[in-house]
Amino acid sequence: AGTLAGASADLPARGDGADLRLDLERAVAALPGGARDVFVLYDVEGFSHGEIAATLGMGESTSRSQLARARMLLRHHLSG
């Protein structure tokens, strides 16, 4: 959906292991409903904001703000 250029350089090291992945997945599950839906559809599944808006019955701007909410909430789980 997006460009995300240069993002791979910021990926957690492989050595972080399954614990980090599981921790993040639990964090995704704990997100507020709207933010979680949009995050999974956009960042994981690769849908566009237009497609998400049509699927979830919301405006594209809402989809964008929900994605930002999810990313802001999740970011601390990768910074530790």
Partner 1 sequence: MSAPVSDHPPERLSDYLNGDLDPRAVEAVEAHLAACAECTLALAEMRRVAAWARSTPPPGHDPDLWPAVERSIRRDTPRRGPRAHSPPPSTQARGEAWRPRSAPAFLAAAVALLLLGGGAGLGVAAGARFAGAALGSPEVLDLRAMAGVLTVLVVLVPVAGITARIALRPFVDAFVRLRKDPSTEESLRLVERRLLLLEREVEGMQDEQGRLQQRLEGMEFQRRLQGD
Chain positions contacting partner 1, by CB under 8 A: 1-8, 10-12, 21-22, 24-33, 35-37, 39-40, 43-46, 49, 55-57, 64-65, 67-69, 71-79
Which of 10, 19 has the CB closer to partner 1?
10
* Helical segments of the chain, H only: 17-29, 33-39, 49-56, 60-74, 76-79
Closest CB to partner 1 among 51 and 78?
78
Shortest gap between Cβ of 9 and partner 1 (angstroms)?
Answer: 8
The tally of CA atoms less than 13 A away on the side-chain side of residue 72 is: 8
What's the min distance (Å) between Cβ of 43 and partner 1?
A: 3
18 within 8 A of 47, measured Cβ to Cβ: no
Question: From the CB of 55, what's the least distance to partner 1, in Å?
Answer: 8
Taking the C-alpha atoms of residue 38 and residue 26, their distance in angstroms, rounded to an integer, is 16
